Amino acid sequence: MRASILIDPERPKVKRAAVLRMLEEVGLRVTQTRPDIGVVVGGDGVFSDYGRLISIPLLFVGVRSAEPTASKGYLAEVRFDRLLEALEEIKRKKYTVVEYRRLQVEINGVVRGEVFTDVYLEKGADSNCLRYHLDVLGGKGGAFTDSAIANGVIICTSAGSTGYYSYVDRLRRGDRLEADRYTQIGRDEVGVCHIAPVLTARDDTEKAPLRYTVPWGASFRLRLTRDADARLFGVIKSRNGIRVRVGDSIDVKPSPNTTQVIRLAPGVG
Q: What is the pLDDT of residues 239-256, one digit of tens each?
A: 889 999 999 999 999 999
Q: Which domains does the chain have, with CATH numbers?
A: 2-93 (3.40.50.10330), 102-256 (2.60.200.30)
- CA–CA gap between residue 56 and residue 22 (Å, rounded): 20
Percent of the chain with pLDDT over 70: 92
Q: Given a cut of 60, is residue 47 above it in pLDDT?
A: yes
Q: Given a cut of 90, is residue 189 above it in pLDDT?
A: yes
**pLDDT on residue 29:** 94
Mean pLDDT of the residues in the chain? 90
Burial of 34 (0-12, 13-18, 19+ CB in 10 A): exposed
Closest CA to 52 of 163, 152, 156: 156
Q: Dihedral of the CA atoms 244, 46, 126, 109 (nearest 10)?
A: 0
Looking at this protein, which amino acid is placed at residue 185? I
- CA–CA gap between residue 61 and residue 72 (Å, rounded): 11
**pLDDT on residue 181:** 60
Q: Which of 166-170, 181-185, 254-258 has the highest mean pLDDT?
A: 254-258
| Length of the chain as a residue count | 269
Looking at this protein, which amino acid is placed at residue 7? I
Q: Provide the pLDDT confidence category of residue 175 given band limits of 50, 70 and 90.
A: low
108 within 8 A of 243, measured Cβ to Cβ? no
Q: Are strands 95-107 and 242-244 parallel, antiparallel or unpaired?
A: unpaired
The mean pLDDT of 202-216, rounded to a whole number, is 93
Written in H, E and C, the secondary structure of the chain is CEEEEEECCCCCCCCHHHHHHHHHHCCCEECCCCCCEEEEECCHHHHHHHHHHCCCCEEEEECCCCCCCCCCCCCCCEEHHHHHHHHHHHHCCCEEEEEEEEEEEEECCEEEEEECCEEEEEECCCCCCEEEEEEEECCCCCCEEEEEEECEEEEECHHHCCCHHHHHHHHHHCCCCCCCCCCCCCCCEEEEEEECCCEEEECCCCCCCCEEEEEECEEEEEEECCCCCEEEECCCCCCCCEEECCCCCEEEEEEEEEEEEEEECCCCC
Looking at this protein, which amino acid is placed at residue 266? P
Q: Given a cut of 90, is residue 129 above it in pLDDT?
A: yes
134 within 8 A of 250, measured Cβ to Cβ? no
Under 8 Å CB-to-CB from 24, ≥6 apart: which residues? 30
- CA–CA gap between residue 116 and residue 179 (Å, rounded): 17
Q: Provide the pLDDT confidence category of residue 65 given band limits of 50, 70 and 90.
A: confident
- CA–CA gap between residue 171 and residue 231 (Å, rounded): 24
